[in-house]
Amino acid sequence: MNASAVALTGDVLVPGNARGIPLALAPLSFWGGYDAEIGTIIDRTHPSHGQSLQGRILVMPRARGSSSSSSVLAEALRNGTGPAGIILCERDLIIAIGAITANELYSLAVPVITVDENAFARIALCTSALTIDAGHRSRPASISLTV
């Protein structure tokens, strides 16, 4: 079976560029659910408990939980234990604020984008590295993957 390249588009919430292997998760609250120091999901009730987001493209339909999640995400990015990029189906102000804070305080540009449900379903099934080009809010984000 031959692999083929697929290009998808999305909306830019936080600009940046990233490349990494996607990790599709059920909604996660960073506050109490993620250890920003060691970089693993610590919520024992989460289906992905124990997994690391470090360097991955986080793929979630939406976030869950507290407004304090933004500070945990920003700290994970500062520590190098956070995701390389974030793809959501629903806009999330708290996740966006965490990435914006990391950019403003630590000069770390981690893209946060939203995609429609069809694109989300394709991305969630992707097992090889994908690329996010979301360098400007003035144009759609581009997601390149191989299926």
Q: Please provide residue 31's backbone torsions phi and psi, each rounded to the nearest 5 degrees.
A: -70, 110
Catalytic: which of 29, 48, 52, 66?
66
DSSP string, 25-84: -S---STTTEETTTTEE--TTSTTTT-B-TTSEEEES---S-TTHHHHHHHHHHHT-S-S
Using CA atoms, how far apart are residues 116 and 102, in angstroms rounded to an integer? 26
Q: Which residue has the tokens 């120091």?
A: 37
Tell me which amino acid residue 53 is.
Answer: L
SS3 114: strand
66 is annotated as an active-site residue: yes
Catalytic residues: 66
